Amino acid sequence: MESHDYKRFVGIILILCASFFNSWAQKAFIDFGKTNIAVNEAFTITIKVENAKVKSHDPFPTIAGFKKHALASVTSSNNKGNGQITTTDALIQNYYAEKEGTYVIKPFSIKVNGKVVESPGITVSVGPYDKNLGEPSKITLNDFLDLEKNKEYVDIKDEAFLGLSANKNEVFVGEGITVTLAFYVAATNQAILEFPPNLGNQLGDMLKKIRPAKSWEENFQIEEIAPVDVTINGKKYSQHKLYQATFYPLNNEPIIFPRVGLKMLKHQLPKGENDPMSLEARLKAKKVDKYYYTLPKRIEVKELPPHPLRDQVPVGVFSLYEIVPKKKIRTGASFEYGFRIWGEGNISAIRAPQINNNEHFSFYPPTINQSVQRAGQRVSGWKTFNFHSIPKEAGKYQLKNYFGWIYFNLNSQRYDTLKARTTIEVAGESLRNAEISAANVGSFYDDIDKESNQLSHNNFRKQVRYITNVLMVLMLAGMAFLIYWTYKDRQREKEEKKGKVSA
């Protein structure tokens, strides 16, 4: 095999190996939500990818009798504490049934990250209206209360506008504010509007201006611009969501969202067309650029009340869930304790609870698992710290004396502490004396008091110099002996040769 053929063969093998590993590491699959739902309850189809992001995907299937609603994204991670981290990225499509009944969804497939994922069929039963669930999500945007006075930004003739809204006008440092950038088209709109081919580039330029510099961002990862029916000031619109994220300000500087613009394509129709929505009219239409602009928005950020940990504590609404495999243990036996914090807030910013050092337990750094869900206007989820511990003394212990987590509670507007509620019982012999015995280094230190503490000079350098000189003399003598011996051998060989020649 020639050199270039060999290199080509090796290259192909490497590419095949990389493709195999990539397909093995990135596992994609489809999940269904509840199959018995109320008519006002969402049925969900979820795309999940392990150890990778959902970078591309086909549109979710259209289901007869159902209407697509909001698309949510969820990112989960699992840190096992030994350097292995697994992640799951998911997109959740919500569907709402138009009426009660039984619906059969046939098998379908969706291409995810270039790979076709198959899904089996399923049957969904839709029951009566559940008053405890309320209506499907409807939003009201206070940003657009006075559209008539802002004709510079809103083209009333088109009955469409570009809006940037926030769910709060004032927040604390560390409190989340959800911002939505969307294009709204009224249900009564007659003009034909079209998103341009360079929408992605336009959106990238707008986000550079929108994103606050000193804030943590949780991006909702909108992959598909699917219209959702909303009501604004009693008027129905189709909301085309372009971007949504929750920002957590890191200081008390106001957040300024500047005016940004979007260039759309508007169809100009020829005169005399009675039906602007007809196929003939659309074929004759001339496409022109039409610009839409948002209104600038300012969000005030308040400093948290004074506290020694004000710059460190998370902000939100959280609860504690404990994971305790066993409550009766023996000294020297390892046990696990899970401290899970869940709720609404910046999950990524949650730090491990502080543990007080004590003589009763040996605690080790925890393994960490977390799940972050972004849906609607909220970022929520949980973070679990799994501690390993070894008890050293028998007795009953309330873990609240060891595990506590401080945060700023938005509901009560004050600092709060989540404390463990579990009590464990430890039996067995004390390990404190065993630790002391293990630390005993032997009889060397037992006789230390009997020895003299007078310093003595050992002339270490002089001794090294003397030994070095002796070694050098021996080496020179050896070399001289070898030279003399080699010389004698050569003389002997010469004499032997002379004797043979004379004979």
Mean pLDDT, residues 231-237 taken together: 89
Distance CA(138)–CA(69), nearest Å, equals 11
Q: Where are the alpha helices (DSSP H) in 151-227?
A: 199-210
Which SS3 state, helix, strand or coil, does residue 483 take? helix
pLDDT band at 413 (very low <50, low <70, confident <90, very high): very high
Judged against a pLDDT cut of 70, whether residue 59 lies above it is answered with yes
Mean pLDDT, residues 70-75 taken together: 65
Q: Are 322 and 372 in contact (CB under 8 A)?
A: no
- Tell me: the pLDDT tens digits for 126-140? 999 877 665 554 433
Q: Are 235 and 242 in contact (CB under 8 A)?
A: no
Q: 377 CB contacts (<8 Å, ≥6 apart)?
A: 139, 167, 178, 180
Within a domain: residue 359?
Answer: yes
What local confidence, expressed as pLDDT, does residue 149 receive?
38
CA-based nearest residue to 417, from 303, 302, 318, 323? 318
Which SS3 state, helix, strand or coil, does residue 192 take? coil
CA-based nearest residue to 261, from 149, 162, 141? 162
Judged against a pLDDT cut of 70, whether residue 407 lies above it is answered with yes
Question: Are 223 and 322 in the same domain?
Answer: no
- How crowded is residue 100: how many other Cβ atoms within 10 Å of its Cβ? 12
More confident residue, 279 or 347: 347
Please give the tally of structural domains in the chain: 3
Question: Are 157 and 262 in the same domain?
Answer: yes
**CA 500 to each of CA 487, 489, 495, 503: distance values in angstroms, whole numbers, following the listed order:** 21, 17, 9, 5
Distance CA(503)–CA(501), nearest Å, equals 5
What local confidence, expressed as pLDDT, does residue 282 receive?
56
More confident residue, 146 or 400: 400
Within a domain: residue 434?
Answer: yes
Within a domain: residue 470?
Answer: no
- Tell me: the pLDDT tens digits for 372-398? 888 878 889 999 999 998 998 899 999
Judged against a pLDDT cut of 80, whether residue 174 lies above it is answered with yes
69 phi and psi angles, rounded to 5 deg: -125, -150
Question: Are 144 and 272 in the same domain?
Answer: yes
Judged against a pLDDT cut of 60, whether residue 64 lies above it is answered with yes
Within a domain: residue 9?
Answer: no
> Which three-class secondary structure string do you get for 403-472?
EEEEEEECCCCEEEEEECCCEEEEECCCCHHHHHHHCCCCCCCCCHHHCCCCCCCCCHHHHHHHHHHHHH
**CA 17 to each of CA 12, 13, 22, 24, 367: distance values in angstroms, whole numbers, following the listed order:** 9, 6, 8, 10, 32
Within a domain: residue 319?
Answer: yes
Q: What pTM was computed for the model?
A: 0.58
What local confidence, expressed as pLDDT, does residue 451 receive?
58
Which SS3 state, helix, strand or coil, does residue 210 take? helix
More confident residue, 66 or 139: 66
Q: Which of 118-122, 193-197, 346-350, 467-471 has the lowest mean pLDDT?
A: 467-471
pLDDT band at 23 (very low <50, low <70, confident <90, very high): very low
Within a domain: residue 389?
Answer: yes
Question: Are 233 and 162 in the same domain?
Answer: yes
Question: Are 43 and 159 in the same domain?
Answer: no
Question: Are 205 and 125 in the same domain?
Answer: no
Domain's final residue, options 390, 410, 438: 438
pLDDT band at 78 (very low <50, low <70, confident <90, very high): low
Which SS3 state, helix, strand or coil, does residue 143 take? helix
Question: Are 325 and 361 in the same domain?
Answer: yes
pLDDT > 70 fraction of the chain, expressed in percent and rounded: 75
What local confidence, expressed as pLDDT, does residue 173 receive?
95
What local confidence, expressed as pLDDT, does residue 156 receive?
42
Question: Are 279 and 327 in the same domain?
Answer: no
Question: Are 239 and 362 in the same domain?
Answer: no
Judged against a pLDDT cut of 70, whether residue 279 lies above it is answered with no
Helix (H) or strand (E) holding 469, with range, is helix 460-502
Q: Which of 147-161, 266-280, 346-360, 372-386 has the lowest mean pLDDT?
A: 147-161
Q: Are 416 and 408 in contact (CB under 8 A)?
A: yes
CA-based nearest residue to 407, from 418, 397, 398? 418
Q: Are 420 and 402 in contact (CB under 8 A)?
A: yes
Average per-residue pLDDT for the chain? 79
Question: Are 299 and 392 in the same domain?
Answer: no
Question: Are 335 and 416 in the same domain?
Answer: yes
Judged against a pLDDT cut of 80, whether residue 29 lies above it is answered with yes
- Tell me: the pLDDT tens digits for 422-461? 999 999 888 766 554 444 445 544 555 565 555 555 565 6
Mean pLDDT, residues 326-333 taken together: 88
Which SS3 state, helix, strand or coil, does residue 398 take? strand
Within a domain: residue 443?
Answer: no
Domain's final residue, options 438, 461, 495: 438
- Tell me: the pLDDT tens digits for 85-137? 667 778 888 888 889 999 999 999 998 888 899 998 899 999 998 776 655 54
Domain CATH for 374: 2.60.40
pLDDT band at 192 (very low <50, low <70, confident <90, very high): confident
Strands 101-105 and 43-50: unpaired
Residue numbers of the domain that contains 141: 137-303
What local confidence, expressed as pLDDT, does residue 271 receive?
63
Question: Are 29 and 143 in the same domain?
Answer: no
Distance CA(366)–CA(337), nearest Å, equals 9
Domain's final residue, options 64, 98, 133: 133
CA-based nearest residue to 243, from 218, 265, 263? 218
Q: Which of 272-286, 336-350, 453-467 has the lowest mean pLDDT?
A: 272-286
Within a domain: residue 74?
Answer: yes
